[in-house]
Amino acid sequence: MAESKKMYLNMGPHHPATHGVLRIELELEGETIVNATPRIGYLHRGIEKLAESRNYQQIIPLTDRLDYASASANNMGYCVTVEKLMGIEVPKRAQYLRVIMAELARIMGHHLWIGTHALDIGAMSVVFYAFRDREMIMDINEEISGYRLTPTFFRIGGVAHDATPKFIEMVRDFVKWFPKGLDGYHKLLTENKIWTTRTMDIGTISADEAVNYGFTGPSLRGSGVAYDLRKAFPYSSYDDFDFQIPVGDKGDVYDRYLVRMEEFSQSLKIIDQAIENLPEGPVNVENPWISNPDLDEVQKDISALIRRFMIHAKGFAAPEAEVYQAVEGAKGELGFYLVGDGSEHPYRLKIRSPCFYLASALPRLMVGHMVADAIAIIGSIDVVLGEIDR
Amino acid sequence: MSMVRLTIDGSEVEVPEGTTILKAAEKAGIRIPTLCYHKRLPPIESCNMCIVEIEGEKEPVNSCAAPVSNGLVVTTDSKALHEQRTANLKKILKHHPLDCPICDRAGECELQDIVYELGIEDVPYEPRKVKRDDTYSTSLIRYWADRCIMCGRCVTACRDIKQIGAIEIQGEEENARIVVDPDKCKSCGECLMVCPTGALTENLSRYKGRPWLVKRVQTTCTYCGCGCQFELNVLDNRVIGVTTDVDTGVNQGSLCVKGRFGYEFIGDESRLKKPLIKENGALREASWEEALDTVAEKFKAIRDQHGPDNIAGLTSAKCTNEENFLFQKFMRAVIGTNNVDHCARL
Ligand code: SF4
Ligand code: SF4
Ligand code: SF4
Ligand code: FES
């Protein structure tokens, strides 16, 4: 019998299908993967360390750059953590606006996922439709914050400013249009023979194993576990909204695909409820030490000017305490462990990145499959390296 | 000294007789907001921010001035006190210009600090009926009349620390302002040091950098033998100002005009960087080796021809003691003359 020779293949860090700068060392026998080792760290910016030298407000833009595909969802996680540390109650209107932004971000993240995931497997056209719709959300972001990808619209204690009428109109337009857009993706993929062949029974993981690997988010739900922080530990008024948690049963690439496709609709449903029932009221806590006086006030009132100056230049202090708070990010449980030391800077900020756990399961998901399936598997867990490397 | 026991916010404190309630509270770790009080100055009692309640007394008292006595029961914070402090502060703020973004003191302004500390809100700006013009106390010190909160620290510092008394308050209520007698003013900048706000700023470092951007390097003044301590404010490797710390050095934060304002030479373009030799009436650059050789040669010639007492040495306060010692040693032992002097009065 001829001796089989192993081949080593270096996939990434600059491989279009590794979605960023993930590198995977593949060990192959023929075309079959016998071992896979993910290598991370290529996008390390030291966000956790940077946070230690910034004040609480200044850290918000750093969090946009975690899972940059769904920036507002990260803002949500960080801000609710600081608010828990400082014992701040965010006004209802701000909570709803936050929910709208976070769900739009989730949809944006899923747009990037479906576009690239399909593209990786060879379905070229999906990305064009997905990005057409993603563009609408980018415009909404731009309208409310001036930024398209990383809006940094959240503030400790609320949001930067109230929604404009144009914003509300744009969100409504999107809610109205998107079911049609989504339908288009379904038509292109869901019953497409090539798509199902490439994704069914690939990268299967059982519920137990997924839990053991620390899976959360759509990837966990694909294996049939109905765990979603928005339901399990509601924050920011999520318990006001009616929505379902879609789950798969087998836990293969196709199930994870279906779960995310359904999440599009569920997120849209939440946005629709939030925008139609947007409560009246302030969009930031009324607390002179934390809430940022708006520019109008600043031009007429010295105390507002001084407070704004102090809040920006120096920042406000958080108590000496530690908290952990997690939210349902687009990829799963995005958690922040925050230690305050009584100063304006955190003593430590540790980020629980859902993608880190998902990427660590890549060897388990890949071994035994073909090289081509590696691409489908990476796409199906939807990792973003900005968050893994931090 | 006999000790006095009193209770502040429920905790017992023992302090020497004659201590103020403010200092006693400090000892107990309790902070009372203050504005006109300054560590180095006697109590001025112009702001009424430091008010506290004393059991048995109807009106609150100014803790920065009130002495302790046995068995006092003091409350430093209550709703009534907070309201009164807020009202007092709002009165000060009412006409305050919206200047923080262009104010040199912003970031270490004590008025800002106390407004933020007390969480003051809702003070719509009311322009003054009579405008108070900005003036120059000296060519180096600008008085921004509108920013002045009339705390009186500058007046007290000039009178009590410097014993000069060049500053006085003129006018009543809204029209009050400080006025400097130019004949008396020595331009020492003591008033700058104690001013809690940006009402007195020095002209040299104006608009050059925010307080939190500069690196403060503590050093000794090089002008005279007093050895005052101060901090050079360095931004991008350039000295942009001088500040002092009241707890450091023999001078306790005070300086004279040279120490406070005479720092621009440090980064001056026209400073000599190489030795120059004069030849046929014109200066040319030379190496240190050549310059020292020339000087040694000429000294030797003068000494040999005309005698050592035809040479005199004048050294500088900018040198260290060791350098000055070596210098006189050199004059006496090598040149052979007692003609040595020192600027010390630059
Ligand atoms: S003196 Fe203080 S409060 Fe007034 S403008 Fe300057 S920094 Fe602002
Ligand atoms: S100039 Fe400064 S120190 Fe003098 S009274 Fe005005 S605020 Fe007080
Ligand atoms: S020159 Fe003035 S500031 Fe400098 S050491 Fe002498 S007295 Fe002090
Ligand atoms: S600090 Fe006591 S009256 Fe101003």
pLDDT digits over B26-55, tens only? 988 999 999 999 999 999 999 889 999 988
CA of B20 to the centre of ligand 2 (A): 23
CA distance B193 to A73: 48
Phi, psi of B246 (to 5 degrees): -65, -15
Number of structural domains in chain B: 5
Q: Is the CB of B151 under 6 A from ligand 4?
A: no
Residue B205 pLDDT > 90? no
Domain identity same for B312 and B298: no
Q: Is the CB of B256 under 6 A from ligand 3?
A: yes
Contacts of A307 in chain B (CB under 8 A): 115-116, 119-121
Q: Which of B159, B176, B203 is the last residue of a domain?
A: B203
Task: Choose the residue to mutate in B147, B192, B194 for probing ligand 1, maximizing ligand atoms within 8 Å of C-beta.
Answer: B147
CB atoms within 10 A of CB B186: 13
B57-114 tens-digit pLDDT: 888 999 999 888 888 888 899 899 999 999 999 988 888 889 888 898 888 999 999 9
- pLDDT tens across the length of chain A (390 residues): 556 788 888 887 877 777 778 888 999 988 899 999 999 888 899 999 999 999 899 999 999 999 899 999 999 999 999 999 998 989 999 999 999 999 999 999 999 999 999 998 888 899 999 999 999 999 999 999 989 999 999 999 899 888 999 999 999 999 999 999 999 999 999 888 999 998 988 889 999 999 999 999 999 999 989 999 998 999 888 989 999 999 988 889 999 999 999 999 999 999 999 999 999 988 988 888 888 888 888 888 898 999 999 888 888 888 889 999 999 999 999 999 999 888 889 999 999 999 999 999 999 999 888 888 888 898 898 888 889 988
Q: Is the CB of B257 under 6 A from ligand 3?
A: no
CA of B103 to the centre of ligand 1 (A): 6
Does the distance separating the beta carbons of B115 and A299 come in below 8 Å? no
Q: Is the CB of B178 under 6 A from ligand 4?
A: no
Sign of CA dihedral B98, B103, B106, B111: negative
Contacts of B125 in chain A (CB under 8 A): 300-302
Contacts of A303 in chain B (CB under 8 A): 90, 93, 115, 120-123
Q: Residue B225 — pLDDT band, cuts 50, 70, 90?
A: confident
Instruction: Compute the nearest-CA separation of A82 from chain B (Å).
Output: 20
Contacts of A298 in chain B (CB under 8 A): 98
Domain identity same for B86 and B104: no
Please name which ligand lies nearest the alpha carbon of B110: 1
Phi, psi of B338 (to 5 degrees): -100, 10
Contacts of B92 in chain A (CB under 8 A): none
Domain identity same for B135 and B234: no
| Count of residues making up chain B | 346
- Kind and range of the H or E run holding B6: strand B3-8
Measured CA to CA in angstroms, residue B199 lies from A332, B110, B144, B147, B258 at distances of 54, 12, 5, 5, 22
Which of B91, B109, B115 would best serve as a mutation to test chain A binding (most A beta carbons within 10 A)?
A: B115
CA distance A34 to B81: 75
Domain identity same for B159 and B246: no
| Secondary structure letter of residue A17 according to DSSP | G
Structural domain includes residue B265 = no
Whether the CB of A295 is below 8 Å from some CB of chain B: the reply is no
Three-class secondary structure of residue A64 per DSSP: helix
Does the distance separating the beta carbons of B96 and A302 come in below 8 Å? yes
Residue B345 pLDDT > 60? no
Choose among B116, B126, B121, B118: nearest CA to B94. B126
Does the distance separating the beta carbons of A305 and B122 come in below 8 Å? no
CA distance B146 to B159: 23
Domain identity same for B145 and B223: no
**What domain range includes position B296?**
272-306
Contacts of B107 in chain A (CB under 8 A): 309, 313-314
CA of A231 to the centre of ligand 4 (A): 55
Q: Which of B163, B187, B203 is the last residue of a domain?
A: B203
Structural domain includes residue B251 = yes
Provide residues with CB under 6 Å of ligand 1. Answer: A 306; B 96, 99-100, 103, 105-106, 109, 111-112, 147, 197-198
pTM of the full predicted structure? 0.78
Task: Choose the residue to mutate in B136, B146, B153, B202 for probing ligand 2, maximizing ligand atoms within 8 Å of C-beta.
Answer: B153
Tokens of B51: 């008010």
Tell which atom from ligand 3 comes closest to the C-alpha of B259: 3
Q: Which of A288, A300, A310 sits opposite B112 (nearest CB)?
A: A310
> What residue ranges do the domains of chain A occupy?
47-354
CA of B222 to the centre of ligand 3 (A): 8
Task: Choose the residue to mutate in B32, B35, B76 for probing ligand 4, maximizing ligand atoms within 8 Å of C-beta.
Answer: B35
Domain identity same for B101 and B131: yes
Sign of CA dihedral A33, A39, A42, A48: positive
| Partners of residue B231 on adjacent β-strands | B218, B243
Domain identity same for B100 and B21: no
Choose among A95, A135, A96, A98: nearest CA to A115. A135
CB atoms within 10 A of CB A92: 17
Domain identity same for B248 and B317: no
Please, which residues 86-145 of chain B have a Cβ atom closer than 8 Å to chain A? 90, 93, 96-98, 100-101, 106-107, 111-113, 115-116, 119-125
Domain identity same for B232 and B144: no
What letter represents residue B125's amino acid?
Y
Please name which ligand lies nearest the alpha carbon of B150: 2
* Burial label, B94 (beta-carbon count in 10 A; 0-12, 13-18, 19+): middle
pLDDT at residue A114, as a whole number:
92
CA distance B231 to B221: 9
Contact indicator for A358, A215 with CB cutoff of 8 Å: yes
Domain identity same for B156 and B227: no
Whether the CB of A301 is below 8 Å from some CB of chain B: the reply is yes
Whether the CB of B302 is below 8 Å from some CB of chain A: the reply is no
Tokens of A366: 């890949």
Please name which ligand lies nearest the alpha carbon of B63: 4
Atom 8 of ligand 2, residue of closest alpha carbon: B151
Q: Is the CB of B92 under 6 A from ligand 4?
A: no
Instruction: Compute the nearest-CA separation of A302 from chain B (Å).
Output: 6
pLDDT at residue B130, as a whole number:
76
Task: Choose the residue to mutate in B105, B149, B185, B202 for probing ligand 2, maximizing ligand atoms within 8 Å of C-beta.
Answer: B149
Contacts of B124 in chain A (CB under 8 A): 300-301
Domain identity same for B197 and B137: yes
Whether the CB of A306 is below 8 Å from some CB of chain B: the reply is yes
Q: How many CB pairs lie under 8 A apart between chains A and B?
A: 59
Please, which residues 149-208 of chain B have a Cβ atom closer than 8 Å to chain A? none
Q: Residue B344 — pLDDT band, cuts 50, 70, 90?
A: low
What is the CATH architecture of A47-354? Orthogonal Bundle (1.10)
